[in-house]
Amino acid sequence: MSITRRNFVAGSAAVSALALTGAPARAATTLRVAHSSPDSSLIQQAMLKFKDEVEAATEGRIAITIFANGLLGDEGPVNEAVGDGSIDMGLGGVVDAIDPRLNVVSLPFLFESFDKVHAVLDGPVGDELKAMAPARGYEILGFLDSGFRSFTNNNGPIAAPADISGLKMRCPPIPVIIETIKVLGALPQSIPYGEVYTALQSGVVDGAEPELRDFYDAKWYEVQKFLSLSNYVWTANYWYANKARLDGLDEADRAAVFAAAANTQTWFREGIKKVYGEIIETLKAAGVTVNDLDVAPFKDMVGPVYETFSKEYGADLVDAIRKAAA
């Protein structure tokens, strides 16, 4: 058979195959998701659930690649990288690249429970926060709980404001948290998440104000003897994406991403409530001294924080979230 004849037969066979099977599937679109939490964390479990659901719903047209442990950078750099499109999605509490006003959720002693947090974020206030993102090139997919933050140190239990006065406390680079720690009399130290263990171990800082899962997942309890439960601040693990990247998806695939994010948020909220009680008992068993503190005298001190951030975030927004949380 001549080369021309063989080529004709091969081409005919390919056309016949396409007629039977339809057009070949296009290559998968890969979305890269970055966060700073460890592989063993509830955040990572949530992202694995999201990955499975998106890939199943889109029949493999979208693939999700997850980068945990701060592999692509700390929260601030990831937030900026999602904005410029070098990363597709990120999670974290440092979201100034989107809008500093998103930190309004972290005003001190604002929320009393997870249920109250979720009710506020699922209502008009949550809609207002999400609406801040598109103009800066982002979409907010959801609000995952970073959780309630408490005080840790190696000097002794913190039971009154005098006990925290003068302590060097590691804080994330979130202005409202830094200002709150200052008002309470401590000395805030902004140290990247991945460097906190060493800073605590070496005594570069006296303590921290971690969320319980971070305290446990990152093993900070190995180098901190005292945990004083205050729930002085709730912080969001904002889940956001590059808007242009999502807008470039087919309508059905974009809808699948948002549906999977909503389902994952619901799953995560139930998970974190269960995990909190278990973690406290595990920390006690590991030798950490845990105490509850009366928040009233601390709460009486934070009026200046509300005054400062009412000016910065807008009095209307601060009033709206305070009324919704009340």
pLDDT tens, residue by residue, 5-25: 344 333 444 333 333 444 444
Residue at 320 is within a domain = yes
Q: What is the DSSP letter of 61?
A: S
Q: Does the structure show a pLDDT above 70 at 268?
A: yes
Give Cα separations from 123 to 63, 111, 127, 324 (angstroms): 31, 15, 7, 9
Question: To the nearest 10°, the Cα dihedral for 161, 166, 167, 170?
Answer: 100
Closest of 210, 194, 218, 191 to residue 42, by C-alpha: 218
C-alpha–C-alpha distance, residues 307 and 312, integer Å: 9
Strand partners, 145: 236
Question: How many domains, in total, are found in the chain?
Answer: 1
Query: What CATH number is given to the structural domain containing 136?
Result: 3.40.190.170
Q: Tell me if 20 is assigned to some domain.
A: no
**DSSP SS3 for 66:** strand
> What tens digit of pLDDT does each residue of 57-72 get?
999 999 999 999 999 9
Query: Domain for residue 107, yes or no?
Result: yes
Phi, psi of 153 (to 5 degrees): -170, 180
- Tell me whether residue 6 is in a domain: no
Q: Which domain holds residue 31?
A: 26-325
Q: How many CB atoms lie within 10 A of CB 173?
A: 16
- Judged by average pLDDT, the poorest of 12-16, 44-48, 231-235 is 12-16
Residue 93 covered by a domain: yes
Q: How many CB atoms are closer than 10 A to CB 317? A: 17
More confident residue, 17 or 284: 284
Asked, for residue 9, whether it belongs to a domain, the answer is: no
Stretch 155-168: mean pLDDT, rounded? 96
Q: Is 7 among the domain residues? A: no
Q: Please indicate, yes or no, if residue 18 is contained in any of the structural domains.
A: no
Angstrom CA distances, 262 to 6, 118, 211, 256, stand at 54, 13, 23, 10
CA distances to 135, 168, 268 from 145, in Å: 24, 26, 8
Beta bridge partners of 64: 31
- Residue type at 104? V
* pLDDT of 73 over the 50 cut: yes
